[in-house]
Amino acid sequence: MTTSTTQNRVLGALLRRLRAPLAVLSVIATPALAQQQGGADPAPGFTPLPAPSLNFYGSTGLLDMPSAEMQPDAQFSTTIAYFGGQTRYTLTFQGLPWLSASFRYNAIRNWNLGGFPTYYDRGFDVRFRLLRETRRLPAVTLGLQDFIGTGIYAAEYIVATKNFTTPGWGSARAPGKLKLTAGLGWGRLGSSGSIGSPFGSNRPAFNTSSTGGKPAYDQWFRGPAAPFAGIEYLPNDRWGFKAEYSSDAYVTETQTTNVFQRKSRFNFGAEYALSQRTRLGAYYMYGSELGVSVQFQLNPHHAPTPMRIPAPYPVQQRPDRKGNPEAWDDSWAASTAAPAQLRDRMAPLLKEEGLILESLTVSAHTAELRFRNQRYLSFSNAVGRAARVMARALPSSVETFRLVPMSAGMALSAVTLRRSDLEALEFAPDAAGAMEALVGYGDAPALSPDAALASDLYPQFSWSLSPYFSPAYFDPDRPFRLDVGAELRGTWRPAPGWTLSGGIRQRIVGNVAESTRTSNSRLPHVRTDGVLYAQYGTTIQNLFAAYQWRPGNDLYGRVTVGYLEQMYGGLSAELLWKPVNSRLGLGIEANWVKKRDFDQLFGFQSYSVATGHASAYYDFGNGFLGQMDVGRYLAGDVGATIGLDRVFDNGWMVGGFFTKTNVSAAEFGEGSFDKGIRFRIPVGWFLGKPSQQSFGTTIRPIQRDGGARLSVPGRLYRQVRQADREALRSQNVRFWE
């Protein structure tokens, strides 16, 4: 077969594989193309994301080689790339301006390892910027590639990139028109054109029997080192042309197997920014192969649709006290009917703002409003709008407002402010900053016996019918499987703090049940029987009763009983200590559960376990939340989980975690220990209107039984943290929106 015929066959297979992503691509790209036409000058408002493009590994780079540039802060990128029988799917997150991390899933055809015609592998990368680019000096970055997988793409590198701006480019949004990159690589990136082994030559070869999942510290920067280099030319803000000298010999793919033929060390490519969030690339690789890539970029700081919220009520200014002393008269407070009358006046105004009045306590000079936020992800939005309603509805003598956000009948915090400050600062140039110094945050006091309670809140029943999507990842026979169906959910709240809720699912279409993979775990099958649970079409997702309350100052409690999740039912109790003004929170959770029958109706299997954790939560500031859980897991193993998430004030969340228990790597199996990444994206970020709904998922390289934790609805920390001092302060600009 000729090279041309082979390339045509490969490209045809690739296009079939990319058909679904390209359909999504067309939806993303069409609005931008309708407004923007390509040209030599940057189109108004058009800024390609990311400014530096991505390589075949989904990291900032050239074609197969890395560069030293970093993506914009908080950039979340997805790359699908193919050449020479290799497909790479990569998620990359720019966690800090100087730090990025990637998770990649690789598919290699004709490698014939483990008896699979297509070999699948997972890996993680991390990159650290050592030196920021200046006028004279290049940017310098150190990277670890595939440092925690099985290591088939394992490499380390240090690389420098310098940008040069040429006359006529004239775009302040682009760092330069010409980019030069040079670096030194080890491992995969030290296999072609080695110049020696500066840090030792002892580097073990890739081990096909390894369970992976553990950092190979003893290999980093060991073995031969080789130089690589490249150049990128940007004639305008849409096109980019690249050439590189590669230091990867692809020994296994070209010498010990027949994945592709490597005839040259040079690679060439062209890329086109189809829209602000989509980039396409075509390449000629290693003198023998054609390649393509699609890059999608999202950034929490740049929503595709600007948020449009109806304007809030203006702050109602009170009349001048000297000129209208009768308006400030406080004799109204002596009337026993006044609280109920004011409550009934405020309730419809709050409802228009997406807020539900739960109670109002009022005296001549002070008012406390307890309310439920049903619309805004930002509680600062909700507090600001509730304060405006209070200023509009309460008599002029009421000077002090105390606003208490509620969650399922539980008071989260108390925000105290003076009405006169609200009136004075509405149009101040730095209203958010000035208000910050004048607002008080604290624990909510006990509900006053004189409070005027909303008369029609309980009992409350709500229901919904919505689609559900249940994915399954990384089956070697088919890496991505999906079930799609409908879920009917109902919730009944008979009194404050009480919740009875349940969901019934009906699978309509899907292929998760078609997997032939059965568990080979040495541990109790607490999670690896997932395929057996997927065999049934009509299931009870969960069915439980919960009560949450305030046991004391800075304390929050929860008890939940019933069918807690797809696989387990039983009893769960939680106690959280979380002062409103502290970054630290401490919690303890105890559970006793039994494994549910595979049909997920009302029956149970014989396996039961007592499980629970002591947890510490810490807000590091700037949106970084850390969590450590120590305790006993579902398989009876004991250990700890450490997680770190970056949470944005618009509701975005991206993070990761890992768990180590007393289960050995051999007992755990493939992956060695539990770990994963997670993200959550608010629906309102896409739609441009406020909503508390969000979607997201947790991606584990592999789901095993070690380190498996129970999933319980309504855990406390996430509820409480959204209205604590740090969360409200970080969003204080939204108080005025």
User: Does 409 score more than 70 pLDDT?
Assistant: yes
Work out the average pLDDT over 650-658. 92
Q: What pLDDT, on the 0 to 100 scale, is given for residue 14? A: 39
Q: Is the pLDDT of residue 1 over 70?
A: no
Identify the pLDDT of residue 208: 53
**CA angle centred on 131, ends 644 and 64, rounded to 5°:** 80
Three-state DSSP state, 531: helix
What integer pLDDT is reported at residue 207 of this predicted model? 58
pLDDT tens digits for 617-628?
999 999 999 999
Mind listing the pLDDT tens digit for each residue in 556-574? 999 999 999 999 999 999 9
Residue 37: per-residue pLDDT: 30
562, 542 contact by CB (below 8 A): yes
The reported pLDDT for the residue numbered 376 is: 92
Structure tokens at 454: 């909303």
Q: What is the pTM of this model?
A: 0.87
pLDDT: which is higher, 483 or 45: 483
Q: Which domains does the chain have, with CATH numbers?
A: 3-205+212-298 (2.40.160.40), 325-457 (3.30.300), 460-710+718-725 (2.40.160)
The pLDDT, as a whole number, for residue 415 is 96
Span 83-128, pLDDT tens digits:
999 999 999 999 999 999 999 999 998 887 666 778 888 889 999 9
Tens digits of per-residue pLDDT, 288-342?
999 999 999 999 988 888 888 888 889 989 998 888 888 899 999 999 999 999 9
At 20, is the pLDDT very low, low, confident or very high (cuts 50, 70, 90)? very low
509, exposed or middle or buried, with CB in 10 Å at 0-12, 13-18, 19+?
exposed
Amino acid 326: pLDDT: 86
Residues 6+ apart with CB under 8 A from 651: 377, 378, 680, 681, 682, 684, 685, 694
Residue range 702-710: mean pLDDT, rounded: 94
Alpha-helix residue ranges (DSSP H) falling in 522-644? 530-533
Helix (H, G, I), strand (E, B) or coil at 400: strand
What is residue 288's predicted lDDT score, i.e. its pLDDT?
Answer: 96
DSSP state of 255: I
Query: pLDDT at position 671, please?
Result: 83
DSSP code at position 337: T
E strands, 165-224, are 178-187
Can you give the pLDDT at residue 236? 84
Decide if 692 contacts 683 (C-beta within 8 A): no
132-136, 216-220, 335-339, 498-502: least confidently modelled range:
216-220
Lowest mean pLDDT among 351-360, 381-390, 509-518, 718-727: 509-518
Query: Can you say how many angstroms the Cα of residue 103 is from the centroid of all Cα atoms in its chain?
Result: 13
| pLDDT value of residue 665 | 87
Q: What's the pLDDT band for 212 if we cut at 50, 70, 90?
A: low
What does the pLDDT look like over 54-74, one tens digit per residue? Answer: 999 999 999 999 999 999 999
Tell whether the model's pLDDT for residue 179 goes beyond 80: yes
pLDDT at position 168 over 70: no
Q: Answer yes or no: is pLDDT of 2 > 60.
A: no
Residue-wise pLDDT for 605-614, tens only, equals 999 999 999 9
**Per-residue tokens: 399:** 């000077």
Question: In the chain, what is the straight-line distance between the N-terminal and C-terminal CA atoms, in Å?
Answer: 65
At residue 179, φ and ψ (nearest 5 deg) are -125, 125
Asked if the peptide bond before residue 44 counts as cis, ω within 30 degrees of 0, the response is no
Phi and psi at residue 99, in whole multiples of 5°?
-140, 130
CA 485, CA 506: separation in Å to the nearest integer?
6
Per-residue confidence (pLDDT) for residue 240, from 0 to 100: 93
- Give the per-residue pLDDT at 97: 94
Amino acid at 263: K
pLDDT classification of 210: cutoffs 50, 70, 90: low
Average pLDDT of the chain, as a whole number = 88
**pLDDT > 70 fraction of the chain, expressed in percent and rounded:** 89
pLDDT in tens, 353-404: 999 999 999 999 999 999 999 999 999 999 999 999 999 999 999 999 999 9
Token reading at 614: 């002591």
